[in-house]
Amino acid sequence: MTTQTAGERTEEDEDRPGRTRPPWARAVIVAVVLAVVAAAGGVLWSLDPVRSALEDSFTRRPSEFTELYFTDSPHLDGATVLVPLAVTDHGGGGATREVEVTLESAKGEKLAVDTLTVRTRPGVESRTVAEVPVHAEPALVLVRLTGRPQALHYRFGEGNAIG
């Protein structure tokens, strides 16, 4: 007779068939793995860069499009609001774009509207600064490309741009 300490396997143990799991155990393991994968997928989908990359992989993007964006935060300089922005045409032959800049008060009243023309070249950022005179404290800057869906909003005091 041999002495066996806890946790040691003997030659007799090697001859015995291995432990088998109950039939429901595999289903539980699969369910747990699927739940973890689903939760991880949900977390990843909530991240903008991941969602954008995934959408690019299964969404057909137009071959020609125009970008409109702030190059810096709009700010008040005396009685003038300076709105630094850029327009970039992608995939086209370039064009002349009209950009409308509207300033609104905290109550939603239009304080000033200015339209400027930006000449673009394909794939090249065309920067400009809209200088809009104003006689009252603006709360909101609205920028849009005339005849296009692109628009930007900037709310003074909060320091955030929303495209």
User: For tokens 């628009």, what's the residue?
Assistant: 151
Q: Which two tokens stand for residue 73?
A: 């935060």
Q: What is the pLDDT of residue 122?
A: 85
User: Where exactly are the structural domains of the chain?
Assistant: 20-58, 65-162
Q: Is the pLDDT of residue 15 over 60?
A: no
pLDDT in tens, 18-74: 667 787 888 899 999 999 999 988 888 888 888 878 777 877 766 778 889 999 999
Q: What is the pLDDT of residue 46?
A: 83
Instruction: Output Rg (C-alpha) for the chain, integer angstroms.
Output: 31
Q: May I ask the CATH class of domain 65-162? A: mainly beta
Q: Where are the beta strands (DSSP E) in 64-109?
A: 65-70, 75-77, 80-90, 96-104
Going by pLDDT thresholds of 50, 70 and 90, the confidence category of residue 115 is very high
Q: Is the pLDDT of residue 101 over 80?
A: yes
Q: Is the pLDDT of residue 160 over 60?
A: no
Question: Measuring CA to CA, which residue among 78, 82, 63, 76 is closest to residue 123?
Answer: 63
- Mean pLDDT of the 82-102 span: 88
Going by pLDDT thresholds of 50, 70 and 90, the confidence category of residue 4 is low
pLDDT in tens, 122-154: 888 999 999 999 988 899 999 999 888 889 999
Q: What is the pLDDT of residue 141?
A: 95
| Cα distances (angstroms) measured from residue 20 to each of 16, 17, 24, 158 | 12, 9, 11, 62
Q: What is the pLDDT of residue 34?
A: 94
Bigger pLDDT: 152 vs 159:
152
